[in-house]
Amino acid sequence: MKQKITILGALTVAAALMLAADLKTDYDHATDFSRYHTYSWIKAQGSDSLWSDRIQRDIDTELSSKGWTKVASGGDASVSALGFTKNQQTLETFYNGFGGGWFWRGFGGPGYATTTVENTPVGTLMVDIFDSNTKKLIWRGTDTQALSNKPEHNEKKLEDTVQSMFKHFPPPSRG
């Protein structure tokens, strides 16, 4: 019985974490994205230089696949990316003992509840694209998802996140 409750609790946490993944994109609907062909980096910042490089590499790959060319400076658009992690706390309560801890007219025995705090690392990536001439924000993508304790899995998650973020980029022009 304890094992079933533990498995059910783990599945519940996994489902909650999957629902916590949150990908959003937004853009200036008045912007004609067909006039942007080059971009320059403002900054790519991660938790360390390894992650900063990975973030920039994955975004470069996606923008290149969309026909945009990276230039050292003076691009039509300017790109900034920020990636960071935080711990998200989840409370888990497990009940044991006959009666589940409830008494009803003397039936059931004393039950015990054990509550633990689970810290789950959650990574957030925010990518902003600005018009270089006006300095106006024209596109933003954000994503939040649970991270693994294995760096190689997180590298793949970052790659998948950036691909999903740029799936419908550039937005269609309203003509």
CA distances in angstroms from 105 to 96, 100, 108, 109, listed in the order given: 19, 14, 9, 11
pTM equals 0.70
Which pLDDT band holds residue 16 (cuts at 50, 70, 90)? very low
Domain membership of residue 170 (yes or no) is no
Give pLDDT tens digits for 125-156: 899 999 999 999 999 999 988 666 677 888 99
Give pLDDT tens digits for 80-126: 999 887 776 777 776 665 554 455 454 555 556 777 777 666 778 89
Domain membership of residue 171 (yes or no) is no
State the total domains in the chain. 1
Domain membership of residue 175 (yes or no) is no
**What range does the domain containing 77 cover?**
2-165
Domain containing residue 26: CATH number? 3.30.160.670
Mean pLDDT (whole number) for 55-79? 97
CA atoms within 13 A on the CB side of 32: 3
Q: How far apart are CA 105 and CA 88, in angstroms?
A: 40
Domain membership of residue 172 (yes or no) is no
| Residue 81, beta-bridge partner list | 44, 127
Q: How far apart are CA 101 and CA 95, in angstroms?
A: 7
